């Protein structure tokens, strides 16, 4: 079985660890976590993820800046990005069509079922 590579970039180590454990227990994903946005960009270039889960509000570079830099990178520009953020309330997610800056967005906290469904949809 070929595991999909998921990179999580969030400044909260508890969030990245929780998401990593959720995804790895399925046996379908290889997960790397980064807690600094600048390191997340380097990790993306090295790890070459199939999908990036990205927080919106972070020190250094915010999620929009990270997403823009990923789009500018020749090797990463087609990598799907999913925002996982506390900046979005559940009702707001539906009101915006579930999108922030053209990327799917899901509010924190997230259930395993919702997270995996969004990941699978965006890996298709």
CATH of the domain at 94: 3.40.50.2300
Distance CA 115, CA 66 (A): 20
Number of domains composing the chain: 1
Angle at CA of residue 116, ends 112 and 121, nearest 5°: 155
Q: Which domain holds residue 88?
A: 4-123
| Of 67, 46, 72, residue with least CA distance to 56 | 67
Q: Kindly give, in sequence order, each residue whose CB lies less than 8 Å from that of residue 29, ignoring residues fewer than 6 positions away.
A: 3, 4, 5, 6, 23, 119
Q: What is the DSSP letter of 61?
A: S
In a structure prediction context, what are the per-residue pLDDT tens digits for the chain, which is 124 residues long? 699 999 999 999 999 999 999 999 999 999 999 999 999 999 999 999 999 999 999 988 899 999 999 999 999 999 999 999 887 665 665 666 678 888 999 888 889 999 999 999 999 8
Q: Kindly give, in sequence order, each residue whose CB lies less than 8 Å from that of residue 2, ignoring residues fewer than 6 positions away.
A: none
With beta carbons less than 8 A apart as the criterion, state whether 106 and 82 touch.
yes
Q: Do the bridges between strand 99-100 and strand 81-85 make them parallel or antiparallel, or are there none, so unpaired?
A: unpaired
């Amino acid at each position: 079985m070929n595991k999909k590579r998921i990179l999580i970039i969030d400044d909260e180590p508890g969030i990245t660890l929780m998401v990593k454990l959720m995804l790895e227990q399925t046996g379908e994903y290889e997960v790397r976590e980064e807690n600094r946005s600048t390191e997340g960009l380097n990790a993306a270039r090295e790890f070459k993820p199939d999908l990036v889960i990205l927080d919106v509000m972070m020190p250094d570079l915010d999620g929009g800046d990270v997403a823009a830099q990923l789009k500018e990178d020749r090797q990463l520009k087609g990598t799907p990005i999913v925002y996982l953020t506390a900046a979005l309330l559940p009702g707001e997610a539906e009101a915006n069509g579930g999108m922030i800056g053209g990327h799917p967005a899901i509010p924190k906290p997230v259930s395993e079922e919702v997270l995996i469904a969004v990941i699978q949809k965006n890996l298709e």
